[in-house]
Structure 1
Amino acid sequence: MTARFALILFCLLPCLSTLAKDKPNIVFILADDMSYDSVAANNPASGPLQTPHIDKLVSQGMNFTDAHSGSAVCTPTRYGLLTGRYAWRTRLKRSVLWNWAPPLIEKERLTVAEMLQQQGYATGMVGKWHLGLDWYDKNGKIANDQLKITDASFRKGDAAKRVQETEQNIDFSQAITGGPTDNGFDSYFGVDVPNFPPYIWIANDRLQGLPTASKPKSMFGSAGPMLPGWKLEDILPTLGRKSVEWIHTQSKKDKPFFLYLSLTSPHTPIAPSKTFQGKSGVSHYADFVMETDWVVGQVLEALEQSGTADNTLVIFSCDNGTSAKANFKQLEQHGVDLHHHFKGHKAQIHEGGHRVPFIVRWPGKTQAGSHCDQTICLNDFMATTASLLDVTLPDNAAEDSTNILPLITGQQSSLPQRPLVINHDIQGKFAIRKGPWKLTGNKLFHLKNDPKETSDVAKQHPELVSELKKTLVRYQQQGHSRH
């Protein structure tokens, strides 16, 4: 290095430091199977099921009341969140990925994490992946490339046989590819899916040990290899602790950071830690929701303690609605109504399947205690982040993502020209939204007047039905929904 170059670099360092600090940190917390009505601040009928930390986030930021996951189940929503593209444009036309599934995110596809890496961000992921991985055999060849998208251990015949053969061929000492660290994340700690094998932690691209035991039948989840001593109750608090540690580590570095915290809760296995068992006085599920809220609180506290809260954009949302495993009747018997606003649940095209909380806190940018009733989708995260950093996305990226930054900052109260939002259920059924109108198949509902979708008004509005059907087909055929 020449003396002249060294002098120039020395002079530039303060400028580079200032530029780094000008870029906000970003923390996206995604809960699993938790509807709009699961947040107490959204639901006056939540009774003893309280979420004080998420409620505090609502009071400190903007609460979106008409936010949607791209799908009513998890894998496709996660794909859309990270890529800004509807997952039904991939080979996954319905349902989710099952045991040992190969990666769903295409190698050439730009993710939000990769975009942020390119903008100088440290990128970290903690939690559930559920977007497929490449597993290898002892010869270093991919062991799961023969699986079909519908193959699962619970199916019969050749499908179950292929899954079993795949599992037997995997060498768990080999590195894993196609996961978070191959899709833009500098670091990763978590589990693929908490109710699928292998039951073991993954750090970056390696299992943390060898799953030499078999999951006991008494433990929730698919049969398969497990790390000896694995406890489901340890998963959620460990994810919280790892997130807190990561935030504190990054706060000491002169670089903006992006944390994607993909919680495993309150999805099955419903496994609250001992500290939270019985805390709600309602059920283990309610306990698990409250522990989920506590983990959110731990992350927010870490931002405060590390001195990064004022320059951090925090988003809390969920991948789909509440699962029927929550036992709605039992909750109602204890005064908890998770159908207060909407009917339906996870996997369904009803609002309860995909209407999710979406809360944004960005000190100095979002108005505390504000709300927005515009229809948005989790897919919008990528275009919004690009706009925040003044990044022009290529044409072959984020095809179904809309910039909602003007809503977040309050510069606009609506986006009248935004593309219509599409929803998708576990069976592959579509719904499309235009203002208060929702078309599902041949049924039309006015959600402002009829949020629980009880009255089909399609016959009264044939022209609108025709328009929405044509728009859905156009979006499907043209390969994108953005203008």
Structure 2
Amino acid sequence: MNSPWPHRLRALLPIVILSGLQSVVLTAAPATRPSSPTPNIIVLLADDMGYGDPRCYNPASKIPTPNMDRMAAEGLRFTDAHTPAAVCTPTRYGTLTGRYSWRTRLKNMVLWSEYEEPLIDPQRETIARLLQRTGYRTAAIGKWHLGLNFAQPGGGFVRGKTNHMNGAGGTRAVDLAQPIQGGPLELGFNESFILPGGINLEPHFYIEGDRAVGKPTVWRAAAAPTRPGTSGLEVHEGWMAEGWSDEDVGPTLTEKALRFITAHAAARTPFFLYFASQAPHRNCTPPAFARGKSQAGVRGDMVYEFDWSLGRILAKLDELGIAENTIVIVTSDNGAVPKSDEGDDFGHKSNGELRGSKGGLFEGGHRVPFLVRWPGQAPAGRTNGSLVVLTDLMATLASLVGTSLPPGAGPDSFNVLPALRGETMDASARPAVVLHSGSGLFAIRRGPWKLSFDAKMKPVQLVHLDRDPQEATNEIAREPALVAQLQAELERIRNAKS
């Protein structure tokens, strides 16, 4: 439903106190005193980068990733980190809110354009708002893909297509001269420069603050590249800015991130940067400097581009003298697709030896790289096998800065700060994790055990990941009591009000 509140007033609405927490709802551990001075926090989220893409995870990777390798050498490399969903939009929702996306109206897949109603309620707590209250300056730069309110000619908001995987059904009736509502500025971010819905989805232009950048007067056809000879795979038709180039997106976003870091280093204010790269999602259009850098096609070149962006950020932190007081977290929104846009995998295993790929419940769909560099806190050159989920960032960062989550906030977030400091957390002591596929299927993970379900919520596979990481042996018949226990636990979590 469209809100009668003007967007700037809605941004000032107080956080409501949410009730009805059940026993399964997770909250942050008691607040701890932050280190002094307060650390800057940067989260870099790749788009469809798999567990086997960085060489620090897969020595046989056909993609040079020197900066992620540097991160692993100078910090922690997690080997059991997961996204809450195996596709884009729900993971981004869960990362920013600490809440599973299947608790919202989005029960499967993703938003198919940014003209959909914003998925994050403006009254819900976000990582950005939490850190903003503790004195951080916050910025969202990069792919958003969580819905926005675009004005419709004659009043109201545009509501675009709900499911058009072929890229058809673009929305023409949009008043792009009006402010764009429901975005980062209303969710705790002081600044934003976003790609509305990914490199392939409509509309094709940037939004700075609440305004479209440039002149979005060009109608882009489905599957149309912006330069002859480059990929248009999975491109949706829709409005595009004059002079738009898919190849320029990564460098443009990176430059905006560097400017934000520089400005706030000079101001001596702690900052939180949520940098959501467009790479290496289809359509794969690496800039000229990245073309041919990998042996894994244009997709591999875009993983190289993501690594380049990371390298620029690390270099800027060194240049400004703030690297020692900045936490850098590098991860991905889900697992990888197995082939590049050319239709070939080039002998590269984008998800390593894991079974499955983006969209599915097998580990290749949601087990992702997770690198943490935190000088003086996270030991260098170590691996950590603690179970970590991206929804955990909210409770973890709250503990880090010495604050508590408001009642009802981050219901599916668990404080893993000890793991970020190098401790291996006992998997048996961690609350169960719910995993979700692109088609809306569920799995539950407790300790090494993972139980997957079909569309009718019937258990179909039980695996012990420690002794069977490739999920080859189904142990349902051997462990009926455990199956019943995990099934009941999943139902308790799903039925909890949050």
Q: Structures share a fold, TM > 0.5?
A: yes
1:206 aligns with 2:211: yes
Aligned to 2:491: 473
Q: Which residue of the other structure, out of 148, 151, 168, is the alignment partner of 2:162?
A: 151
Q: Which residue of the other structure, out of 359, 376, 379, is the alignment partner of 1:347?
A: 359
Aligned to 2:14: none
Q: Which residue of the other structure, out of 112, 128, 141, is the alignment partner of 1:113?
A: 128
1:426 aligns with 2:438: yes
Alpha-carbon distance between aligned partners in 2 of 1:347 and 1:423, rounded to the nearest angstrom: 11
**CA 1:77–1:384 in structure 2 vs 1: closer, same or farther (change >3 Å)?**
same
1:137 aligns with 2:155: no
Alpha-carbon distance between aligned partners in 1 of 2:165 and 2:309, rounded to the nearest angstrom: 32
1:170 aligns with 2:168: no
Aligned to 1:405: 417
Q: Deviations over 1:370-398 (max 9, x none)?
A: 12112110000000000011211122110
Alpha-carbon distance between aligned partners in 2 of 1:329 and 1:119, rounded to the nearest angstrom: 48
Conserved in 2, the CA contact under 8 Å of 1:347 and 1:425? yes
* CA drift at 1:140: 4.6
Conserved in 2, the CA contact under 8 Å of 1:130 and 1:192? yes
Alpha-carbon distance between aligned partners in 2 of 1:369 and 1:154, rounded to the nearest angstrom: 42
Aligned length: 448
State the SS of the aligned residue for 1:275: helix
Q: Which residue of the other structure, out of 62, 76, 87, is the alignment partner of 1:62?
A: 76
**CA 1:313–1:331 in structure 2 vs 1: closer, same or farther (change >3 Å)?**
same
Larger mean CA deviation between 23-32 and 417-426 belongs to 417-426
Q: Which residue of the other structure, out of 337, 344, 350, is the alignment partner of 1:330?
A: 344
Larger mean CA deviation between 79-88 and 215-224 belongs to 215-224
Aligned to 1:196: 201
**Higher normalized helix content (fraction of residues):** 1
Alignment of 1:59-458 (within 5 A): 59-99=73-113, 100-144=115-159, 151-154=162-165, 167-193=171-197, 194-217=199-222, 218-219=224-225, 220=232, 221-326=235-340, 330-333=344-347, 336-411=348-423, 413-414=425-426, 416-441=428-453, 442=459, 443-458=461-476
Larger mean CA deviation between 73-82 and 392-401 belongs to 392-401
**Greater C-alpha Rg:** 1
Task: Quote the RMSD (CA, aligned, Å).
Answer: 2.0
Conserved in 2, the CA contact under 8 Å of 1:399 and 1:479? no
* CA drift at 1:234: 0.4
Amino acid at match of 2:65: T
Larger mean CA deviation between 125-134 and 318-327 belongs to 318-327
Conserved in 1, the CA contact under 8 Å of 2:282 and 2:341? no
**CA 1:357–1:154 in structure 2 vs 1: closer, same or farther (change >3 Å)?**
closer
Amino acid at match of 1:423: L
Conserved in 2, the CA contact under 8 Å of 1:21 and 1:254? no
TM norm structure 1: 0.89
Aligned to 2:10: none
Q: Deviations over 1:139-171 (max 9, x none)?
A: 453232xx6xx7134589xxx8xx65xx33310
* CA drift at 1:331: 2.9
Q: Deviations over 1:291-317 (max 9, x none)?
A: 111111111111111111110111000
* CA drift at 1:62: 1.0
Aligned to 1:8: none
Alpha-carbon distance between aligned partners in 1 of 2:416 and 2:291, rounded to the nearest angstrom: 39
Amino acid at match of 1:468: L
In structure 1, the gaps of 5 or more residues are 1-18
Aligned-residue identity in percent: 41
Alpha-carbon distance between aligned partners in 1 of 2:359 and 2:77, rounded to the nearest angstrom: 24
Alpha-carbon distance between aligned partners in 1 of 2:53 and 2:219, rounded to the nearest angstrom: 34
